[in-house]
Amino acid sequence: MQTFKLENKNGIEMTVTNLGCAIISLNVPTKEMGKKDVVLGFDKADDYKGEHPFFGVVAGRFANRINKGKFELGGKTYQLETNDGANHLHGGSNGFDKKVWNVLESSSSKIVFEYDSPDGEENYPGNLKAKVTYTLTDDNVLRMDYYNTTETETICNLTNHSYFNLEGHDGKPIIGHELQVLAKQTTAVDVELIPTGELKELSDTPLCLYELKPIGKNIDEVGKLSGTGGYDHNYVLEKKEGLAAVLYSPVTNIRLTVSTNSPGLQIYTANNLDGSLVGKGGVKYPQHGGVCLETQIFPDSPNHVNFPSAVVSKDKPQNFYTEFKFEW
């Protein structure tokens, strides 16, 4: 297990580890408040070995949920671990976040991770070669590239699960942050957060984030309606590629824009944090202490023919990217 540091000419500094490709810290300058570490997490790479809410890691082989842990592929039914009640979440209890990835390339601006997931790992079919590249540019963009290949048909859905707080990981809950998501639909879900297959229109609902607005404006209403305690929803992105979301802190004036070619964006407002988990510098992370901006294929997509496909085959590799651009 190793740690690596990326930095650019404008003062952004990022520390990552090859355990789960976890982003340990991401320090962003401000005009008047010094640098702010804008991701929740732990002080050392070793701390990521234990149980935690997927701080900064790459979740997989299939991020988000699969109904009852079951899916069919090539006429065969596969049963995955049910580690989230009756359902499968983020690749299982020994998913990609718990793996030590190989480092193919590293420099002060770029690091390339690779993991070979064997056929049958966590009961997924097919050998999968996953490659994740983090690039930090002098334009203040953190770019993440996901390239997945296989010789035998399988499914894959990778995302980075960083918890952002633009006032610093030790800042106040993100209810004062402003958020915009360029989506007019979400994937409707049942009480277990499993998609029903319906695409739900957002117009004039508390879930609508099409215009920039404070996260706290409707978070209580959203939490009561969905039973989640806040936002935990997959948004159907309006554009096939390009700008997907904007996150802004009026306290630090840090603005984060998210661009991607992924079809979905899961917004999760750290509803399950409660102050008992101790992170960097001894900080106890409160409910809504951060917000996850998880670019992805839709949850439970293998069980819905109308959802974007998560199938990877020899002739159909996956190639997704996400760009996080910081301005201050």
Longest distance between any two alpha carbons in the chain, whole Å: 59
- Interior/surface letters 262-296, b for 16+ CB within 10 angstroms, e for the rest: bbbbbbbbbbebeeebebbeebebebbbbbbbbbb
Distance CA 243, CA 181 (A): 9
Note the residue count of the chain.
328
Cα angle value 169/43/148 (rounded, 5°)? 85
| CA proximity to 192, closest of 157, 217, 227, 164 | 227
Give the DSSP letter string of 20-57.
TT-EEEEEE--SSS--EE-B---SSGGGGGS--S-TTP
DSSP state of 224: H
Give the pair of three-digit tokens for residue 301.
């997509």
Dihedral sign, CA of 97, 189, 210, 182? positive
**So which residues are the catalytic ones?**
161, 294
Return d(Cα 285, Cα 267) in angstroms, integer: 18
How far apart CA 159 and CA 172 sit, in angstroms, is 25
- Residue 215 main-chain phi, psi, to 5 deg: -60, -35
- Residue 44 φ then ψ, to 5°: -130, 155
Asked if 114 contacts 60 with a C-beta cutoff of 8 angstroms, the reply is no
C-alpha to C-alpha distance for 298 and 236, rounded to whole angstroms: 8
Helices (H), the chain: 219-226
Q: Provide the total of helices (H) and of strands (E) in the chain, helices listed first.
A: 1, 27
